[in-house]
Amino acid sequence: MLTVRPDFYDKFHCLASRCRHSCCVGWEIDVDDETLAYYNTLEGPVGDALRESIALAPAPHFRLTAEERCPFLRPDGLCRLILTLGEDSLCDICALHPRFYNELPDRLEMGLGLCCEEAARLLTEGAGPLRLLIDDDGAGATPPSPLLRRREEIFARLADTARPLTARMEGALALCGEALPPFEHREAARFLLTLERMEESWTALLDTLAAAPGEELEPRLSEERYMRLAAYLVYRHVTGAGSEREEARLLRFCFFAVRLVCALEPYSPDALRLFSAEIEYSDENVEKLCAWLATHSSRDG
């Protein structure tokens, strides 16, 4: 079994009280069955508070406060459960976030979600092309699939700094027989405003982009941070493709995201985190965006 992680994964530590955008605010927090059973065994004030703070339908979850905060998030940004019961007391979603895992035959790929401001910083402030660190338990592994071999070629094309990043993304999509859809920032912003949104700051940022004057993204797009972002999005999203057509669909999504973040960042340093939270973490929004990009790709072709 191979275990794979990006080059910044081991540097990650939760910022806890120093985080400006706590994942304990504004997010639904489900409680898995095993942790719920453990909470039901606890006695005393903490056990009583837990049972009072968890709704059982439609699935067990913490009841957020009127300010959409976890009931166990203290005003100083620290977790009351960790401080009183230890990290082992956390439900699965709290213990694992912002980590994600993609399971493949004889291979486990892990990473960090970019809705976490620290994960986004570690990725974009890293140096050079994204590298994948691989551990082998010695049990042997099957040869990489055609998709994984093509992904390596995509990584190589994205790392070719002799060419503008737009040309590199075009070359990566060409491996799937597809063209890179056009990107017009005002049109993109107007479409994203039709999707479900959570944070008012995301709506305000899209409104700003929809009214912004025209801009040529290159050469700013070819900065190292966007090369690393492009490769990382491919690492996270394209791995699960079941066909070349699905691979192309997800590549279009990844490369749209890179250009969008590049267009948004002059107006907000928080653009990458917001994109991830509002789009990446919503299956419905991802599907609608992929469908919209497919129509653009067909129109361009």
Per DSSP, the residues of 9-69 read GGG----GGG-SS-TTBSS--B--HHHHHHHHH--HHHHHHHHHHEE-SSS-EEPP-TTSB
- Quote the pLDDT of residue 274: 96
Label each residue of 181-249 as H, E or C. Answer: CCCCHHHHHHHHCCCCCCCHHHHHHHHHHHCCCCCCCCCHHHCHHHHHHHHHHHHHHHHHCCCHHHHHH
Contact 289, 256 (CB under 8 A): yes
Buried b (16+ CB within 10 A) or exposed e, 125-142: ebeebbebeeeeeeeeee
User: String of b and e for 226-236 (b: at least 16 CB within 10 Å)?
Assistant: bbbbbbbbbbb
N-term to C-term CA, the chain: 41
Q: What was the pLDDT predicted at 297?
A: 67
Backbone angles phi, psi at 112, to 5 degrees: -125, 130
The residues with which 25 forms a beta bridge, in sequence order, are 69
pLDDT on residue 287: 95
Q: What is the pLDDT of residue 301?
A: 46
Give the pLDDT confidence score for residue 141 in this predicted structure: 64
- How would you class 10 by CB atoms within 10 Å of its CB: exposed for 0-12, middle for 13-18, buried for 19 or more? exposed
- Model-level pTM? 0.90
User: Tens place of pLDDT for every residue, the chain, 301 residues?
Assistant: 889 999 999 999 988 888 888 888 888 899 999 999 999 999 999 999 999 999 999 999 999 999 999 999 999 889 999 999 999 999 999 999 999 999 988 889 999 999 999 999 999 999 999 999 999 877 666 777 888 899 999 999 999 999 999 999 999 999 988 899 999 999 999 999 999 998 999 999 999 999 999 888 998 999 999 999 999 999 999 987 878 889 999 999 999 999 999 999 999 999 999 999 999 999 999 999 999 999 876 555 4
Q: Residue 190's pLDDT is what?
A: 97
Q: What pLDDT is recorded for position 239?
A: 83
- Cα gap 161→297, rounded to integer Å: 25
| Cα dihedral 79, 80, 86, 92 sign | negative
Residue with tokens 């974009």: 124
Distances in whole angstroms, Cα of residue 61 to Cα of each of 12, 30, 53, 92, 158: 27, 4, 8, 12, 41
Structural tokens at position 226: 């966007």
Nearest one of 134, 129, 86, 88 to 110, comparing CA atoms: 134
